[in-house]
Structure 1
Amino acid sequence: MLDFALFAVTFVLALVGAVLYLYPSSRRASGIPGLNPTDEKDGNLQDIASKGSLHEFLVGLHQEFGPVASFWFGGRPVVSLGSVDQLRQHVNPNHSTDSFETMLKSLLGYRSGTGGGATETVLRKKLYESAIDGSLKKNFPLLLQLVEELVEKWKSFPEAQHTPLCAHLLGLAMKTVTQLALGERFQDDAQVIAFRRNHDAIWSEIGKGYLDGSLEKSSSRKEHYEKALSQMESLLLSVFRERKADRKQTVFLDALLQSSLSERQILEDCMVFTLAGSVITANLCVWALHFLSASEDVQDRLYQELQEVLGSDPVSLDKVPQLRYCQLVLNETVRTAKLTPVAARLQEVEGKVDQHVIPKETLVVYALGVVLQDGKTWNVPYRFDPDRFEEEPARKSFCLLGFSGNQTCPELRFAYTVATVLLATLVRQLKLHQLEGHVSEVRSELVSSPRDETWVTVSRRRTEPPEPSGPSGTGQ
């Protein structure tokens, strides 16, 4: 199975530039069909820019040249794989490195840990994952409380009121990530607002400079970005000192502080989780509610499962795995929205896909957005249909792409847990309705998000009266 090191996808534009900047690459032509460079210096960068996103560029590339295609980033060749069969063949032997972590940290100017051996890398990755999982277990009541507060707020709205999903759910994601990662300081909304301001400034600039050089050309933007990054690091270091003095072990940061990691390594891991975790969680929740609002049948079926598994009790962590249909809904949300449309890896040794040889140190792009809507892999690919994951071939393809199974990254597992609690709490009390004539378009950038604010209305769910009881009193 491919080790995708999931959610390098969220930084793929930056990853492309960073990989080719950080690593010497073969200049041999790959011989793989594809585009010639339109500019000697920039390769096909202008073609990517004119399409609006790397995903849209890859859609056209694979339509023209097939499932294995090439293009040029600057003066260097890049190979893109756009089908499940070709991705299955591309086995990278290095299973210890995490391209997401490596590339994001390089973009942020971080270097610690990059020279460690495979054993150190694996141990650090396990610590990172267990710290996230441990925080979810210890703080599940807090997560439930934050979700219930949002649902109560929505219940107070008039039924005709338009509810902005992006604004509300990014706020929920920021609160859950900061409080479960960094602790009770972020129970103060002012602290969350300050965190969000710097987070947004950093996230909006990551990768842009590598794609079009615009950050370097604008001194004001660069100054704004560097100031936000400095303020975020100062904030994290301040939280470190507080948590060290209290010697608690309840949140993500505490587990790192109890380890042998240096302060610099802890800073980097906290930056990775808080940056990526917030955006991935927010957009998974936004798209899930958007699709449910447009599919009353799916919403009602989910309600039935929640009633059968949970009854009137709040969702608990041990009940989450039993919400099987909810898992299918979230899987289909990731697929239909192309939540993370592109991933990438460096070809560390010479490889081969079909009859094509991929030279060592070529950047190989996984066109996940293309694959997730490939009609050969998914029946009626543009339809939101959670039932497709009842079939084993669909589950295997999804797992191969790294969105489920053992390859699922901790940030995605965190997002799935938050989204499950949200659906389990909200759908049992409220019905979601799509606004007439409102269509939410996908903006396939670092993480696919709605191009504009997405609106719904909500109404109180009227529970059905109980069925008459039979002679035994069991209702059967």
Structure 2
Amino acid sequence: MLEYAIFAVTFVLALLIAVIYLYPGSSKPTSIPGLEPTTKEDGNLTDISRAGSLHEFLIDLHKKFGNIVSFWMGQTFVVSIASPELFKEHQGVFDRPPLKDLKKQIIEVIKERKKNRPKTGEEILIDIILEKTEDEEIQLSDSIAFVVGGFHTTANLLTWAFYFLASHQDVQQKLYEEIQSVLGKEDVDHTNIGELVYLRQVQDETLRCAVVAPWAARFQDFDSELGGHKIPKNVSLFWGLFFVFDPDRFSPENTKKRPALAFSPFGFAGKRICPGYRFSYAEASVCMVTLLKKFKVHMVEGQVVIPVHGLVTHPADEIWITISKR
């Protein structure tokens, strides 16, 4: 009888342990509302895939649970916030994961440029960076900043800007009139770019509508409290930046009424803003002004544009426009 009782207890304990291990039950370290893991191994990755992208998944999650939510990326517990008030409240020391592939490629380019220095007049951007500092970490960081800001993000900003201008001829005409009024026959440069107020409004509205940078991710190595909930250390925390194309919403009058941190496409004022944001605006401005002074842009009839939300939002297929000489 005793042997049977021992066997029964052992069997029940083993069964309980197996159920706990195999069943993806709750192991949330906080009271934050959100999803339970679909499976122990994948967490909510299947839900993210089903939504179409992380951006679309987070939109649905915040609609359902509110401004602070939780979910699982594999076996990693993740918190996402989506309100200016919570962005402001969430402060601390953070570390972003490295862009490994890009970093590796740039290191190889730096080595090659150091080995084969170009002739005077044949320098490219990375050669200028190498001339300004011998600190290898700064060389690498500056190169990554300019590559990401000057190619990936800005290129997609320009793609969407010309799409919106082609599909909103009234906005394009108003922008052209500002360019003519401010610049006349002059080129845009650092002395007059600040006078192109409506151009900046068009760029900001493009960033808002296209959600070029849909979210940011931060990692905290300390315990904190946010929105009345405990945030344990070693939790990844997402900042959701995504919550009719109308550049006038960014007019000086409307900007004064906007809550702090309600629109932060390049990060947040102070130490957390993208160091290349001025470069990105300037680069996009030169391109837009140069083309719009000479040409009108039009949509190709019947074209359907579908956004794909990733690290940077881009169209599923190429956006085609036609141009006509002014």
The one-letter amino acid paired with 2:76 is: R
Matches within 5 A, 1:374-453: 383-390=244-251, 391=254, 392-394=256-258, 396-398=260-262, 400=264, 402=266, 406=270, 408-453=273-318
In 2, distance between residues paired with 1:281 and 1:400?
A: 15
Q: 1:334 to 1:98 in 2, by over 3 A?
A: farther
Residue 410 of structure 1 and its aligned partner are, at CA, apart by 3.3
Residue 98 of structure 1 and its aligned partner are, at CA, apart by 6.0
> Is the Cα contact below 8 Å between 2:133 and 2:139 reproduced in 1?
no
| Identity score, percent | 35
Task: Say if 2:176 is the partner of 1:311.
Answer: no
> Is the Cα contact below 8 Å between 2:149 and 2:280 reproduced in 1?
no
Q: 1:67 to 1:268 in 2, by over 3 A?
A: closer
1:285 corresponds to which residue?
158
Say what the alpha-carbon RMSD is for the aligned residues: 2.8
SS at match of 1:315: coil
In 1, distance between residues paired with 2:263 and 2:35?
A: 31
The one of 171, 175, 190 aligned to 1:298: 171
Q: 1:58 to 1:399 in 2, by over 3 A?
A: closer
What is the number of residues matched between the two proteins?
Answer: 296
The one-letter amino acid paired with 2:132 is: Q
Return the structure number with greater strand share. Answer: 2
TM-score for both structures, normalised by structure 1: 0.57
> Is the Cα contact below 8 Å between 2:208 and 2:265 reproduced in 1?
no
In 1, distance between residues paired with 2:58 and 2:227?
A: 19
Q: 1:345 to 1:38 in 2, by over 3 A?
A: same
Residue 82 of structure 1 and its aligned partner are, at CA, apart by 1.9
Q: 1:76 to 1:402 in 2, by over 3 A?
A: same
The one-letter amino acid paired with 1:238 is: E
Residue 438 of structure 1 and its aligned partner are, at CA, apart by 1.9
The one-letter amino acid paired with 1:93 is: G
Residue 104 of structure 1 and its aligned partner are, at CA, apart by 2.5
The one-letter amino acid paired with 2:303 is: H
**More deviation, 332-341/275-284:** 275-284
Which string of whole-angstrom CA distances, capped at 9 and with x for unpartnered residues, describes residues 145-179 of structure 1? xxxxxxxxxxxxxxxxxxxxxxxxxxxxxxxxxxx
Q: 1:234 to 1:259 in 2, by over 3 A?
A: closer
SS at match of 1:34: coil
The one-letter amino acid paired with 2:168 is: S
Q: 1:359 to 1:267 in 2, by over 3 A?
A: closer
1:350 corresponds to which residue?
223
The one-letter amino acid paired with 1:46 is: T
The one-letter amino acid paired with 2:49 is: A
In 1, distance between residues paired with 2:111 and 2:293?
A: 41
Task: Say if 2:235 is the partner of 1:362.
Answer: yes
1:49 corresponds to which residue?
49
Q: Which has the higher contact order (CA 8 A, sep 6+)?
A: 1
1:37 corresponds to which residue?
37
SS at match of 1:237: helix
Residue 404 of structure 1 and its aligned partner are, at CA, apart by 7.3
Which string of whole-angstrom CA distances, capped at 9 and with x for unpartnered residues, describes residues 399-440 of structure 1? 556457555423433221121011211212211112233231
SS at match of 2:98: helix
Residue 303 of structure 1 and its aligned partner are, at CA, apart by 1.0
The one of 122, 132, 145 aligned to 1:258: 132
Which string of whole-angstrom CA distances, capped at 9 and with x for unpartnered residues, describes residues 283-322 of structure 1? 0111110000111111111111111110111222211111
TM-score for both structures, normalised by structure 2: 0.81
The one-letter amino acid paired with 2:37 is: P
> Is the Cα contact below 8 Å between 1:36 and 1:72 reproduced in 2?
yes
The one-letter amino acid paired with 1:327 is: R
In 2, distance between residues paired with 1:427 and 1:57?
A: 37
In 2, distance between residues paired with 1:314 and 1:291?
A: 23
In 2, distance between residues paired with 1:244 and 1:251?
A: 12
In 1, distance between residues paired with 2:265 and 2:124?
A: 33
Return the structure number with greater helix share. Answer: 1
Q: 1:386 to 1:33 in 2, by over 3 A?
A: same
In 2, distance between residues paired with 1:427 and 1:34?
A: 47
In 2, distance between residues paired with 1:385 and 1:429?
A: 24
